[in-house]
Structure 1
Amino acid sequence: MIDFSYIIETSKSFDEAVVSVLRAVEKKGWTVFQIYDIKERLAAKGFVQRPLKIIEICSGKYAHQFLNKNRMVSLCLPCKINVMEEGGKVVIVGMKPTMIAQLFPEIKVEEAQGVEEEILDIINTAAQS
């Protein structure tokens, strides 16, 4: 199986982890586009789900760079960091942007690695107690 995600457990509560992600995104100079509360949205349709929020984030610098190489990269934008409860624990999850280089040959792995380093830094910063 391809290792496409980065997952880290945090001792923070679910809500604290969400706030920590938002702060880490801001500190890194990225932008939060949208936050989806999946548990709430599915509850409105009568489905029960454990807590899960999808936080869409973007670095204009990287988005501009990648879109200029192949506009189909927009299918992978914006980046997402998820906060969820799994097995009674809170985890923060992000897709590894280096996966984009496997889908779009115009994007060099080294370029995607820069994005990945920033995403992992955001996740690690948010997860710290």
Structure 2
Amino acid sequence: MLINVESTKSVEDLRKGIEETAKAKNFGVMAIHEVTKTLESKGVPINYECVIVEICSPKHASIMLQKNPYVSTAMPCRIAIIDQGHKRIMSTIAPTALLEMFNMPEAKNIAEEVERLMMEIMEEVK
């Protein structure tokens, strides 16, 4: 399941807002991927702007990794910013949707908390 939040702000304003808001909620900013620019530089352009912001809550990451090291394949959390012309979409995979993939029903509370924080970040930034 994807969580999508619409905005009329610019991609750059959303990127900066995600970084600032994530830090305020005790997430670290792990990386920024300028997908459109990277693909253009490789000679395979796309016709819209896409930026991915990777964020991670060390507290939650540590708990999840103690339970199952394979969760690392889905880390850090990623928020994609996709320019659709008249609007921008911030999109992320719902952490609760990943529980089934990792067969971790015991981690439901942690995934719900991270999901709530991710939604708060996107809603506050929009």
TM-score by length of 2: 0.92
Contact kept in structure 2, 1:54 and 1:83, CA below 8 Å:
yes
Contact kept in structure 1, 2:64 and 2:107, CA below 8 Å:
no
Contact kept in structure 2, 1:94 and 1:123, CA below 8 Å:
no
Deviation (angstroms), 1:87: 4.8
Q: Could you say what the CA RMSD is over the residues aligned between the two structures, in angstroms?
A: 1.2
1:10 partnered with 2:7: yes
The worse-fitting range, judged by mean Cα deviation, of 113-122 and 100-109 is 100-109
Deviation (angstroms), 1:108: 2.6
SS of 1:56's equivalent in the other structure is strand
User: Where do residues 41-60 of structure 1 align in structure 2 (5 Å cutoff)?
Assistant: 41-49=38-46, 50-60=48-58
The alignment-based identity, stated in percent, is: 27
Deviation (angstroms), 1:56: 0.7
Once residues 120 and 100 of structure 1 are traced to their aligned partners in structure 2, the CA distance between those partners, rounded to angstroms, is 16
1:89 partnered with 2:94: no
User: Where do residues 101-120 of structure 1 align in structure 2 (5 Å cutoff)?
Assistant: 101-106=99-104, 107-120=106-119
Aligned length: 124
User: Where do residues 23-102 of structure 1 align in structure 2 (5 Å cutoff)?
Assistant: 23-49=20-46, 50-102=48-100
Q: Structure 1: which 4+ aligned runs deviate by more than 6 Å?
A: none
Q: Which runs of 5+ in 2 are unaligned?
A: none
TM-score by length of 1: 0.90
Once residues 75 and 36 of structure 1 are traced to their aligned partners in structure 2, the CA distance between those partners, rounded to angstroms, is 17
Once residues 11 and 51 of structure 2 are traced to their aligned partners in structure 1, the CA distance between those partners, rounded to angstroms, is 9
Once residues 85 and 25 of structure 1 are traced to their aligned partners in structure 2, the CA distance between those partners, rounded to angstroms, is 21
Once residues 94 and 125 of structure 1 are traced to their aligned partners in structure 2, the CA distance between those partners, rounded to angstroms, is 15
Deviation (angstroms), 1:110: 2.1
